[in-house]
Each structure stands twice: as C-alpha cells, then as structure tokens.
Amino acid sequence: MWTIWPPFESIGSDATDRELGQLSVRAIEASRQGVANRDPRDETPFRPVLDLAGVRSYRAFLRGAKGVDLNEEGGVLTVTPSRPPLGVEKGIGFVGMTDQNLQCTLEDIDVVGATVREALSRSIRQPVSAKSSIKRSS
C-alpha cells in the first residue's frame, strides 16, 4: 500500500487483515483534503514511494503495481479498486474502477483489512509487456 503523501509504509502480501486494516486507517488519518493531486511522473515528491517499491521510475513502478483509493465519510469507508493509466491517460495516476466500489464501516479493523484486500484482488495490474497491450487513440 502506498500514498503520494506521507506516511510511506509497506507491508507484505502475507499481512493479516488486521495489519492491512491498521495500515489503511493510518493512511486515512494522515490524508489531507483540498490538496491538488501531483503528477505521479514528477518523481521528486514520489521518490520515497519508488524507493519503498525498489524501482527507479514511475513507469517501472506501474509494472506489477495494484492500487485502491480509500475514502472515508461519516465512518463509512469506500474502497475503490484501480488500474494503471493507459497511454491516452498519461499523467493522471491510477484510474479508479468506481463500478467495483466496496464499503464497510471503520468499527472492525479486521473487516477494513478484508475489504481492502478484496478491492486489491479486483484491481488490475499493468502487464509486464505493456507496450503491446496499450491502445492509443489516433
């Protein structure tokens, strides 16, 4: 899990639902409203995330990465799976798959983790041979 804003944390794919839920809640608590999204290709503010992922560029980060958007309102968490941008969407970061939204309350941290895990399972990774799979509009 990552965010372009601190905290920059990482947990393994073998993390429990509780650990994933705790990380998700920390990310929500540290989030800010009313701040413009940065272009993820501007690697200066994104460098800590690239370092955490062990890659040298945003393009390399996209290969194999999965993501979700977390939005909490009134104690209800909406978790949106995402997919990497296609060629015509450069510079916008991951694209939310809003037709796949999941919701839960923040009352049970294990349920939060399980919901985030399910959303991650629905997220789409960029194929390793992305050049051959990206369709560009003319």
pLDDT band at 132 (very low <50, low <70, confident <90, very high): very low
Q: Could you tell me which of 11, 8, 7, 30 has the C-alpha nearest to residue 20?
A: 11
Distances (CA, A) of 137 to 86, 113, 133: 10, 38, 13
In the structure encoding, which two tokens stand for residue 23, read together?
């990380």
Q: Say if strands 68-73 and 76-83 run parallel, antiparallel, or are unpaired.
A: antiparallel
Q: Mind listing the pLDDT tens digit for each residue in 92-115?
A: 678 889 999 999 999 999 999 999
Residues near 29 by Cβ (< 8 Å), separated by ≥ 6?
none
Domains of the chain from N-terminus onward: 17-126 (3.40.1590.10)
Rounded Cα distance, 97 and 40, in Å: 18
Q: Mind listing the pLDDT tens digit for each residue in 10-62?
A: 888 899 999 999 999 988 888 766 555 566 566 567 788 888 888 888 788 88
